[in-house]
Structure 1
Amino acid sequence: MLFLTQLIAIFIAFISHQHEAIAQFVPGYSSVVAPVHKHTDAAKPVYSVQIMTAYVNMQFLHENLLIDLDAPFIWHDCILLWNTYAGGCPPNKLCTYPVSCEEYQCTDVRTTYSYNNPSCPPVNNGSTLPGWGYCTCPVNVVNPVTGSCGEAFLDYDEFTMNTSNGKNVFTGLYGAYPNAACAPSSSFQEFPANVTGVMALSSSPYAFPAYLNEPLKKVMAVCLPSTLSSPGVFFYGNTSYYLLPQSSVDIRSFLSYTPLVNNPDYFGYFIGLSSIVIKTRSIEIPANSTIKLSTIDPYTILRTDIFNRVVRRFSLVTKRIPPAKAVAPFGLCFNASVTGLRVPDIELNLEGGKKWSISTANSVKQVTDDVACLAFVDGGVASEPAIVIGTFQFEDNFLVFDFEKSSFGFSSSLLRKKTSCANFNFTLTN
């Protein structure tokens, strides 16, 4: 009896130890990571994140999805099959399982989280797939390159990313299982080459962040490259971030933070603006102004009254630089033959007293060999939102969205820190 009692005690101690070990288990990674590519072979510059999708012939298919901070859900080039194990999927093509029109996701997306665009017609239940007894779930999608509306079909998807500690990329993989939507290949004809979908990174519960496990879903970081030759970097996870050549310097030490501002009319992200300052002079802006952050608009858009004030002040502080004839869509251009063209910073004074400095690299766009222009455009007298920060101003700026703290972190130009968004080390390590 004593032996039996001792045996039970040892067993209980073993189980308790195992539970304690499980409770204390910490994964060997703190984030997931993917490369970000710049594309200029479309109507406007756009940026994509590279995700692994289907596992075919002992390797993952890779897909470049256009980064969209506003899209309510992911949609991409794929084919619906109700039974993927029965064959029928073309070689090197992504096939996914459909969401039925009778499932709650279908109704939820259509009624609450669909694209809000006047060009989109109402959608009805789709036809059934061969051998499947349910109707599919068509949803509207808006092409971020052209603005046109199309149709896709809601599905169950699987996306895979490499794990990381913010400095190295590990061979270990992380899988997420979002509801996305399949669209025909024809939907992406206006996209850049090799970009076959839209990666939704908005606050919608059907955007990618919502499908990540804790604590990854709490923090998103993106660093858009200014070059086509080397990728930028995209992270999920509350981690340290490192860029070469300063591989021991945590990029978070460069960041300032301002609160994210809720706007119920959009799925995207906003921050509060108190003033715009150019060479110590403040530009008049409406009280309680907010800035929309956009990865679709290539340049900062200002409502006409704000645009005119910015251009007037910028013209005054750059009067020593020879002017040039304006090149659309810009309103103020310079003779770029001037050696070492440099202009004063444009300072965005944000909520919480933080300052985002837009330096020459992010304020002046080289249009031709002889002409450079202020990379701000006139949005019109009724532009809403009144201020939209575009991707040219994001390039080589490290941006962090902290959803747990509802804050936005920004570095200003990394070029002033002797690094860039193209300096993350993507070499795989075990």
Structure 2
Amino acid sequence: MTSSLQLFTFSLLIFFSLCQSQPSHKPKALVLPVSKDPSTLQYSTQLSLGTPLKPINLVIDLGGRHLWMDCYTNYNSSTYQPGHCGSAACSIAKASLCDLCFGTPQPGCTNYTCLLDPENTIAGVAGYQEVATDVISLQALDKTMSDHGSWSQYQLSTPEIEIHIGRGVIIPKFIFSCTGDWLLRGLVNGTKGMAGLGKTQIGLPSQLSSMFGGSLPRKFALCLPSTLRYTTKIGAIGLPSTSKANGVIVFGDAPYLFYPSYNKSKVIDRSQSFSYTNLYINPVSFAGVYQGRPSAEYFIAVKSIMIDTKPISINSTLLSINKKGIGGTKISTIDPYTVLESSIYKAFTEAFAEELKAMKISKVAPVAPFTECFSRRMLGFTMVGVDVPVITFVFRNQNVYWKVYGANSMVEISPEVVCLGFVDGGLDTKTSIVIGAHQLEESVVEFDLASSKVGFSSSLLEEEAVCANFMF
């Protein structure tokens, strides 16, 4: 009996030793492409969904609570599963409301399913819709694995997840909400819904991380592309005007490597170039049916704004979030330009205009939605855009700064006119400062949900690179 037990124990030791010596074959990161539509100024991404896998285009919503899409139109997947009331999917999604559907059973219309409340944040419409699960696929980013050049399938810790080297990661039972096409109003043509990256359990970052048992870190980085309109220095480094080149979203832990446009063999590593500031929770959301619940959006604490090292005068109470959820600063991909509460906007634009007046730059007629526009003829040019005063956001913690240069502070209206790319949000705006997408373009912004912090990098343009030069 003793010898049998010893043999069994020895066998177990050999087994665990062999297991520990095997490579994990788990992806270090997952990647989605990002493109910008020049007419709507919306950013979209593409992933594959269903069986068989089909590509779908989704508008990116940084603060969106989850992924939602139109399932009523041309949706046919053998792996689609409605979220039946009391199921694990309903529990994870925190969807307690149960519903009956009296129409013909189909995706989006199934009896005894729980409901989520997706919101189209572009059009400001929302509604209760069926919770669902299906297979999705994203591209893996893992240099060690891709070096093999193999198309093999590797089994991961979650039995149903498998990696196709060179193709992507197949993930089952991804939770989303299934809506009708009525919710697509105002979204860029060809998109089927919205990809929510917000701070919820079923937002893309957290859900992807949980699918791998937490081995994929709960963080992501955005690199938003710009749409260039006129011949500039940026065009001189290899980008055509009216460029629609892709940016990226990187989920997990991977180096952010780019190449300069003049040399594809040179590597620019943005992984260590971040200035970090804390993320804060706004206890009150103003988003559609979520009003009154904690916000899923990304709030940070701006202490002051400087124009060429000179702080502007701001009512400091506007920079904090009060008990009603009003005030503070958030980051948005839905707002194309930074929105400032009226008193902040007035002080900001007056200080900026005074600096350009001192530079003898002529002011010209405003072009909506902007009020501060200038003659481009007298402005010099640098690698980071037109030569205008640097705008600096100063954060509350540890004197962290984020500088915004001409390419991100100004908007080219014509070859002769540029406008300050900030807009007046009015006196009764719920959030005092909304940092818009234009100000984030062509730089890497990292959101670390586990550490509750966000990192801002300097502009890629400083090194003659753009988001489209990301090295897969």
Give the TM interval when normalised to the shorter protein: 0.7 to 0.9
Please state if 1:327 is matched with 2:367.
yes
- Cα gap change, 1:111 to 1:181, in 2 (>3 Å): closer
Give the root-mean-square deviation of aligned CA atoms: 3.1
1:51 match? 47
Give the gaps of 5 or more residues in structure 2: 147-164, 228-242, 285-294, 321-327, 381-385
Please state if 1:194 is matched with 2:213.
no
- The separation in 2 between residues aligned to 1:53 and 1:413, in whole angstroms, is 33
- Spell out the pairing of 1:66-85 with structure 2 (5 A cutoff): 66-79=59-72
1:155 match? 132
Equivalent residues of 2:92, 2:202 under 8 A apart: no
Q: Answer 1 or 2: which has greater strand percent.
A: 1
1:183 match? 179
- The separation in 2 between residues aligned to 1:203 and 1:403, in whole angstroms, is 7
- Spell out the pairing of 1:51-130 with structure 2 (5 A cutoff): 51-56=47-52, 60-79=53-72, 96-101=80-85, 103=87, 106=90, 125-127=100-102, 130=105
1:258 match? 277
**CA displacement at 1:259 relative to structure 2:** 1.1
After TM superposition, the structure 1 stretch with the greater mean CA deviation from structure 2, 384-393 or 255-264, is 255-264
1:313 match? 351
Equivalent residues of 2:25, 2:145 under 8 A apart: no
Please state if 1:283 is matched with 2:329.
no
Equivalent residues of 1:168, 1:425 under 8 A apart: no
Give 1:344's aligned amino acid: P
- Cα gap change, 1:217 to 1:67, in 2 (>3 Å): farther
Aligned to 2:203, which of 177, 185, 207? 207
1:117 match? none
For 1:22, what is the secondary structure of its paired residue? helix
- Cα gap change, 1:61 to 1:305, in 2 (>3 Å): same
After TM superposition, the structure 1 stretch with the greater mean CA deviation from structure 2, 16-25 or 224-233, is 16-25
2:258 match? 243
For 1:315, what is the secondary structure of its paired residue? helix
Equivalent residues of 1:143, 1:150 under 8 A apart: no
1:85 match? none
**Superposition TM-score, scaled by structure 2 size:** 0.76
1:304 match? 342
Please state if 1:230 is matched with 2:207.
no
Aligned to 1:345, which of 366, 390, 408? 390
**CA displacement at 1:366 relative to structure 2:** 0.8
- Cα gap change, 1:101 to 1:323, in 2 (>3 Å): same
1:33 match? 31
For 2:117, what is the secondary structure of its paired residue? strand
Give 2:301's aligned amino acid: G
1:218 match? 218
Give 1:274's aligned amino acid: K
- The separation in 1 between residues aligned to 2:30 and 2:190, in whole angstroms, is 23
Equivalent residues of 1:61, 1:92 under 8 A apart: no
Equivalent residues of 2:259, 2:268 under 8 A apart: no
1:20 match? 17
Give 2:17's aligned amino acid: E
**CA displacement at 1:270 relative to structure 2:** 1.0
**CA displacement at 1:8 relative to structure 2:** 7.4
- Cα gap change, 1:308 to 1:69, in 2 (>3 Å): same
- The separation in 2 between residues aligned to 1:107 and 1:379, in whole angstroms, is 38
Equivalent residues of 2:258, 2:469 under 8 A apart: yes
- The separation in 2 between residues aligned to 1:141 and 1:279, in whole angstroms, is 42
Give 2:70's aligned amino acid: D
1:86 match? none
- The separation in 2 between residues aligned to 1:97 and 1:129, in whole angstroms, is 16
Give 1:100's aligned amino acid: H
**CA displacement at 1:97 relative to structure 2:** 1.7
- The separation in 1 between residues aligned to 2:144 and 2:393, in whole angstroms, is 30
2:331 match? 293
What whole-Å deviation, never above 9, does each CA across 1:16-66 have from its counterpart, x for those lacking one? 233234345432631111111111343xx111122111242xxx3111211
After TM superposition, the structure 1 stretch with the greater mean CA deviation from structure 2, 91-100 or 265-274, is 91-100
For 1:171, what is the secondary structure of its paired residue? coil
After TM superposition, the structure 1 stretch with the greater mean CA deviation from structure 2, 217-226 or 292-301, is 217-226
What whole-Å deviation, never above 9, does each CA across 1:40-95 have from its counterpart, x for those lacking one? 343xx111122111242xxx311121111222221012249xxxxxxxxx587797
- Cα gap change, 1:92 to 1:229, in 2 (>3 Å): farther
**Superposition TM-score, scaled by structure 1 size:** 0.83
- The separation in 2 between residues aligned to 1:304 and 1:310, in whole angstroms, is 10
Give 1:240's aligned amino acid: P
After TM superposition, the structure 1 stretch with the greater mean CA deviation from structure 2, 303-312 or 227-236, is 227-236
Would you say how many aligned residue pairs link Structure 1 and Structure 2? 400
For 1:400, what is the secondary structure of its paired residue? strand
2:122 match? 145
For 1:318, what is the secondary structure of its paired residue? helix
**CA displacement at 1:109 relative to structure 2:** 5.5
For 1:17, what is the secondary structure of its paired residue? helix
Give 2:280's aligned amino acid: V
- The separation in 2 between residues aligned to 1:69 and 1:258, in whole angstroms, is 17
Identity %: 29
What whole-Å deviation, never above 9, does each CA across 1:187-228 have from its counterpart, x for those lacking one? 325321222111111111221222223132422111101135
- The separation in 2 between residues aligned to 1:166 and 1:415, in whole angstroms, is 25
For 1:309, what is the secondary structure of its paired residue? helix
**CA displacement at 1:139 relative to structure 2:** 3.9
Give 1:40's aligned amino acid: P
Give 1:243's aligned amino acid: F
Equivalent residues of 2:92, 2:201 under 8 A apart: no
For 1:305, what is the secondary structure of its paired residue? helix
Please state if 1:366 is matched with 2:350.
no
1:271 match? 300
